[in-house]
Structure 1
Amino acid sequence: MTNNIVQIANISPENLETLINKRFEYHFEELKKALNNQNANDDLMSREQVLDLLQIDASTLWHWQKKGKIPVYKFSNKCYYKRSEIMNCLTPLKK
């Protein structure tokens, strides 16, 4: 610990500022990547896209909606689904 304090004491204020800025930039970029991934998972999907993704029939999707297994959003008589919610509905098989 004292070794770290000695290292900091030997750094000029400009270099210390540069080190701090680089560290914040790194964490900021990581946060942006995480948010972009989260936003990508919240894309709205059409009914046809969900049918293609899950490889199911339209009647199966309709039944799952009615049972509340898959949340659906309607806008001007069209159904939309959030990709993240579809993925959360999937459950892993237990062996």
Structure 2
Amino acid sequence: MKSTQLHVIETTPEELTENILIGVDCKLKEFFDKYKPPKKDEEELLTVDETLEILKCSKQALWNWRKNGILPSYRLGNRVYYKKSDIFSKLIKQE
């Protein structure tokens, strides 16, 4: 029969717990880096209703601003969106 050596390492329960926590922490960091939510500085697109709520205007006024190029809009499929930064920059500049 072939004999193998067994190495016994003495560790305290505290050291074992710390090593396990370090491993779990590392794996959680990898997971959250892979699936992190979008940053707040990324552009936020608003629907027509959300834009109307911010601007407190009628749909007709918003449509006229879009048609005349005052407020740029973006289409995804058959839906119209507005960038939040565009809305606030137009409100500040009042162009």
TM-score band, normalised by shorter chain: 0.5 to 0.7
In structure 2, the residue matched to 1:71 is 72
In structure 2, the residue matched to 1:47 is 48
Q: Percent identity?
A: 30
AA aligned opposite 2:44: D
In the alignment, the residues of structure 2 paired with residue 71 and residue 38 of structure 1 have an alpha-carbon distance, to the nearest angstrom, of 19
Structure 1: stretches of 5+ with no match in the other structure: 1-35
Quick check: 1:38 aligned with 2:25?
no
- In terms of fraction of residues, the more helix-rich structure is 1
Normalization by structure 1: what TM-score?
Answer: 0.53
AA aligned opposite 2:47: S
Distance 1:37 1:76, change over 3 A: closer
- Higher Cα radius of gyration: 2
In the alignment, the residues of structure 2 paired with residue 46 and residue 92 of structure 1 have an alpha-carbon distance, to the nearest angstrom, of 22
How many residue pairs match? The answer is: 56
In the alignment, the residues of structure 2 paired with residue 78 and residue 37 of structure 1 have an alpha-carbon distance, to the nearest angstrom, of 23
> Residue 81 of structure 1: SS of its match in structure 2?
strand
Large movers: runs of 4+ above 3 Å: none
